Structure 1
Amino acid sequence: MFLWQYLTVLLLTAVQLCKAQKCDKFSDLNLGHAFIGTSFRIRLLLYTREYGSCGTLMSHTNLSAHPQFNLSRPTTFIVHGYRPTGSPPVWVHNMTALLLARKDLNVIIVDWNHGAANLNYFKAVENTQKAAANLTAFIKMMQERGASLSSIHMIGVSLGAHISGFVGANLNASIGRITALDPAGPQFTGTPPEERLDSSDAQFVDVLHTDIDALGFREALGHIDFYANGGTDQPGCPKTIFSGGAYFKCDHQRSVLLFLDSLNQTCSSTAFPCSSYSDFLDGKCLNCDRFGAAGCPVFGYDVTRWKNILVKLGQTKTFFTTKAKSPFCMTSYRVDVMIWNKDARWGYLTVKLHHNGTESVATIDHKSSQFKKYTETTLLAQFDKDIQSVEKVSLKFSTKNVCKPKYKLRVLRISLTPLERKERLLCRYDVLLEENSEVAFRPIPCEESNF
């Protein structure tokens, strides 16, 4: 009898374990579903640290059915965008894992694939309001059970950004934060604030733009708007239509990859407030005094450090540049050049920083810069690696004029100022640059009287 009881308990335990390990997954549809369309349905998949990568399908009416859903914890909703082929977003589980690694959260993946998977984009846009109504009802149920709306963070991608905005507006801007990753432009551009995301939809709204000339939204929408590489033509993305589907979606999808980098803390991208990308590249927007001791904001998950300042400022447009691959961040320096040539010179500079065999390169070639006698020219140099202790600097001057005679740039003084950390300026005096010839030197601390 004892053996039978033992086996029964063992069997029941095994059954419970099997049930506990049953994981719900994101809807995997296909092009056929997108072609014929699907009836709208929304599924909410809960992930917590206790259950790791195992998702639990949430009830829309009974939260007590999910004891692992701890309403005293902050909750982050991930809302995907348009899915023209019906496939699950490849990035969604990576984002979930990184969020849980950063903080003890409830992460809810909002699976509205039955609604987003449709070759008719206009139908998917129409379904954003249905998705928002469903989420609003769910969050109100959370609130009734004691959840704090200020602890809710919604991360919306493309159409998902506007869904997040609709939810925030439905809840009278009481949710804590909306992060919008390249909000969709088509069907939303030119519409009033109540028909799209805007800064009044949450206590704090941060927005990233990566495809403003095609699938994304051009204008500023949040308390802070980040324009990566000006918001267009992301490095490493195809430039011609012959590259297939990647040509249409690479810039748009880069927003997610940049945010994942910020979650992973691989590196950080400092963003500079500016009225235009052109002014930013020209080195006209390197002053961050408006942010006080905090300095310029850093793009991504941790921008909430600047929340109070940004909300007070109202709306801030910022710019930063990236590399083609992860880690995407670059290191920024202000480069001030004064020459003593009698005549003005026009051209481009390439600056290299060296330390212990490592080389970091910044090519300042977005346009030809003017250098005039005894007049300081300020340039923005974006380096591909962060050199903590610079041992040597290399400079190369070029005009890109093949047929004209080669010029010389007689540098009276050049200084390099790191913009992401407080360090003493590095200088060099009296350097002769012959066109297209690289000159290397050891920098020295700048003379205090000169600055």
Structure 2
Amino acid sequence: MCHCFPVPVSIDLTYETKLLIPGYDESVYLNETRLILEEYLKRNKLNVLRIDWLKLSKLRCYPTFVSNVRHAGKCVADFLKKLHTNHPEFKIKNLHVIGFSLGAHVPSFASDLLQAQIGVKFARITGLDPALPLFLAATRRWKLDPSDADFVDVIHTNSGEFGKVEPCGHVDFYVNGGRRQSVCENDTFPARCSHLMVLPYFTDTISTNTGFWTTQCESYLEYLFTSCRFNVSSTVDQNNQTPISMGEHCPKSARGVYYVETNSSSPFALYQYKIMNSSIAE
């Protein structure tokens, strides 16, 4: 039985609710995940539930944490069921879960349990560069996939190193090619830096006046040869597709693989919502 997370008692659970799950050897209070929390808290009528699962592993080693992803998922499921029992106004099926790295796989286990036990799954899971090591050949039940929520959107910033290579959601965004971020070129550990960059990128998408606009590509080669790059001068791209925004405001109808370009320094979004047709941002 899990006794991992206390149930909050002083929040209005009729508000929209986000569930934030950090990655390996991380705390929602001490690292870049904090940026997402702080940006969300600027909004009115919004709850942010934070899962700190460091205590599930007494040994600070990655394989131990991987083995505990399943246990963390069970704790999350038990926590949410208890929250709903004590506060019927809280609806698990309306929850948006944001998980980073190893934490992106935790909601997969929680969702499987919730679907099996009470017949509900999350409204949305956003996977922030889901972890690759020891998940390369994992079965579908052991990693994030589209069956885990009504809508699963994934952002890749370090594919093939710390982050998953293959698409994991209904829609997958590969930022600046998806493997290495230019802002990390001079970092002493560019792979880890690129992995972490998904956090400030996503943080920037939470604001209502920024947008990481992109259009769909059939392949990585098509992206490399610029035939499907986003054209800010038009509301329709060269493939006659309406552009969409990566991150918080991604439309739930989005499907497929997209390649996103950013600035090399903050603010990272190349384009602003205000210059786009308002109907596109919905």
TM-score bracket for this pair, using the shorter chain length: 0.7 to 0.9
RMSD over equivalenced CA pairs, Å: 2.6
- Number of residue-to-residue matches in the alignment: 262
CA positional deviation for 1:269: 1.1
CA positional deviation for 1:41: 7.4
CA distance in 2, matches of 1:117, 1:266: 42
CA distance in 1, matches of 2:24, 2:104: 11
Q: Does 1:123 align with 2:85?
A: no
Instruction: Please name the residue that 1:72 is paired with.
Output: 14
Instruction: Please name the residue that 2:221 is paired with.
Output: 278
**Aligned partner of 2:43 among 88, 102, 121:** 102
Q: Does 1:260 align with 2:207?
A: no
Map 1:242-321 → 2, pairs under 5 A: 243-244=187-188, 246-265=189-208, 267-285=210-228, 286-287=237-238, 289=240, 295-303=242-250, 306-307=251-252, 309-310=253-254, 315-321=255-261
Q: Does 1:324 align with 2:264?
A: yes
Return the TM-score normalized by structure 2: 0.83
**Aligned partner of 1:134 among 75, 78, 88:** 75
The one-letter amino acid paired with 1:96 is: L
CA distance in 1, matches of 2:34, 2:122: 23
CA positional deviation for 1:300: 1.0
Instruction: Please name the residue that 1:111 is paired with.
Output: 52
Map 1:218-257 → 2, pairs under 5 A: 218-238=165-185, 243-244=187-188, 246-257=189-200
2:28, 2:52 within 8 Å by CA — same for their partners in 1?
no
**What is the SS of the residue equivalent to 1:170?**
helix
CA distance in 2, matches of 1:129, 1:288: 42
CA positional deviation for 1:275: 2.7
2:22, 2:99 within 8 Å by CA — same for their partners in 1?
yes
The one-letter amino acid paired with 1:135 is: V
1:98, 1:264 within 8 Å by CA — same for their partners in 2?
yes
State percent identity of aligned pairs: 28
Instruction: Please name the residue that 1:48 is paired with.
Output: none
CA positional deviation for 1:266: 5.4
Q: Does 1:167 align with 2:88?
A: no
Structure index of larger Rg: 1
Instruction: Please name the residue that 2:94 is paired with.
Output: 151
2:180, 2:191 within 8 Å by CA — same for their partners in 1?
no
Distance 1:98 1:177, change over 3 A: same
**What is the SS of the residue equivalent to 2:245?**
coil
Higher strand residue share: 1
CA distance in 1, matches of 2:57, 2:216: 35
CA distance in 2, matches of 1:270, 1:214: 25
Return the TM-score normalized by structure 1: 0.54
Structure 2, unaligned runs of 5 or more: 229-236
**What is the SS of the residue equivalent to 2:165?**
coil
Q: Does 1:42 align with 2:4?
A: yes
CA distance in 2, matches of 1:299, 1:128: 26
CA distance in 2, matches of 1:107, 1:189: 31
Instruction: Please name the residue that 2:32 is paired with.
Output: 91
Superposed structure 1 runs of 4+ greater than 6 Å apart: none
CA distance in 1, matches of 2:56, 2:211: 35
The one-letter amino acid paired with 2:149 is: A
**What is the SS of the residue equivalent to 2:15?**
coil
Distance 1:284 1:159, change over 3 A: same
CA positional deviation for 1:318: 0.5
CA distance in 2, matches of 1:234, 1:139: 36
